[in-house]
Amino acid sequence: MQFVVILVLAFAPGIFWLWMVVRRDRFRPEPRALVTRTFLWGAAVAVPVAAVESLLVYLFDPQALEPLADVRLPIGTAAYMSFIVAGITEELGKYLVVRRTVYRSLYFDEPMDGLVYASASALGFASLENVGYLMVYGWEAILLRGPFSTLAHVLFSAMWGYPLGISKVNPSRTAARVWLGLAASMLTHGLFDFLLFTESAYSYLTIPLFIAAGAVFLLMLRRAARVSPFREMIGHLMAACPSCGERIPYHARYCTSCGTVLGATRANGPAFCGRCGATLHRRARYCPSCGARLLRGNSAP
């Protein structure tokens, strides 16, 4: 029972932050199953990454694997564990989850997708990492890791996630941008951990670093929405009036042409894309002909 409580507490912040990111993907929302799968892959990759980290620590200093309670790490050891063990290994693991799986999907087709799937991978990783911390330090550890360390994983991974998304609409110099973003995420992640490992007044510098990374993330979210190729691809789901044949919004209560009251007969007829006129299923969310996101009734874009 206690382990179940730990699992809930460890994964709850990650699920919450993922929901906050996904809801910003308004123009062409990603399939929930694909986002969930990326989240689970992120959690799964945390296991081999932890094994690699342990090996790297052992090769550097076998005694470093022993509990370090109240022992301040030497500056060299702290730098190695922050930038090499944590920064490079963890960001590379999260990046490979996205690059080798969902990036190849046809659903990955706009800049926002890079941020969504990078966040999903990062939060899956952070959630399983939370499990380990809670088992060692108790449930109270989530009070700091939930709003701070868990979200920090998103902010780091967004630095390579955004260039991946941009590569889908602007392939020029894609490799350079992605590698620069990955290097930036490793460096920022390493610096964040290094400042914490100092266990001194310098540890408080993680706060402005966290705020700056958060501001950059918000700017990337806004920019991704602004340059989305689907921003203007919006149309209403339409239906034909059974009396006069006029096409009207599918969920309208009356025909604006002849005044016929619309009821169950509307559900028996076809639906149409209000942008290109293609015939659609009445539950369609997107038009397969022109790609428009379909609004229902008086829904706002």
Distances (CA, A) of 261 to 216, 256, 264, 274: 51, 10, 10, 21
158-204: per-residue pLDDT in tens? 999 999 999 888 777 678 899 999 999 999 999 999 999 888 888 99
pLDDT at residue number 65: 57
Mean pLDDT along residues 113-142: 94
Which residue spans within 40-166 are E strands per DSSP? none
Mean pLDDT along residues 5-23: 95
Residues 76 and 199 in one domain: yes
Residues 267 and 159 in one domain: no
Domain enclosing residue 257, as ranges: 234-295
The answer to whether residue 301 sits within a structural domain is no
The answer to whether residue 175 sits within a structural domain is yes
pLDDT at residue number 28: 82
209-244: per-residue pLDDT in tens? 999 999 999 999 999 999 888 776 666 778 777 777
CB 119 within 8 A of CB 15: no
pLDDT at residue number 299: 43
Residues 35 and 183 in one domain: yes
pLDDT at residue number 71: 57
Backbone angles phi, psi at 271, to 5 degrees: -115, 160
Regarding beta strands 234-240 and 247-249, do their DSSP bridges make them parallel or antiparallel, or are they unpaired? antiparallel
- Residue that finishes a domain, picked among 180, 206, 226: 226
> Where are the alpha helices (H) located in 138-173, listed in sequence order?
142-144, 150-166
Residues 104 and 249 in one domain: no
Residues 247 and 129 in one domain: no
Rounded to whole angstroms, the Cα distance separating 25 from 225 reads: 8
Please tell me whether the overall predicted TM-score, pTM, comes out greater than 0.95 for this model: no
Tokens of 277: 């006129």
- Choose between 274 and 188: higher pLDDT: 188
The answer to whether residue 300 sits within a structural domain is no
Residues 47 and 19 in one domain: yes
The answer to whether residue 216 sits within a structural domain is yes
Q: How much is the mean pLDDT over the chain?
A: 86
Given the structure tokens 């994983």, which residue do they identify?
153
Provide the number of structural domains found in the chain: 2
Lowest mean pLDDT among 36-45, 116-125, 245-254, 266-275: 266-275
Residues 124 and 190 in one domain: yes
The answer to whether residue 100 sits within a structural domain is yes
Distances (CA, A) of 285 to 3, 63, 295: 40, 57, 8
Residues 142 and 243 in one domain: no
- Residue that finishes a domain, picked among 195, 226, 257: 226
pLDDT at residue number 98: 97
CB contact set of 145 (below 8 Å; sequence gap of 6+): 13, 126, 130, 133
Which residue spans within the chain are E strands per DSSP? 234-240, 247-249, 271-273, 279-280, 293-295
- Residue that finishes a domain, picked among 170, 200, 226: 226
30-42 in b/e form (b: 16+ CB < 10 A) is: beeebbebbbbbb
Residues 66 and 167 in one domain: yes
Distances (CA, A) of 34 to 29, 103, 120, 260: 11, 11, 10, 42
Q: Which amino acid is at 98?
A: V
Residues 261 and 209 in one domain: no
Given the structure tokens 């670093």, which residue do they identify?
209
The answer to whether residue 106 sits within a structural domain is yes
CB contact set of 147 (below 8 Å; sequence gap of 6+): 13
pLDDT band at 109 (very low <50, low <70, confident <90, very high): confident
Half-sphere exposure for 190 (CA within 13 Å, toward CB): 20
137-147: per-residue pLDDT in tens? 888 889 989 99
Residues 34 and 180 in one domain: yes
Residues 105 and 197 in one domain: yes
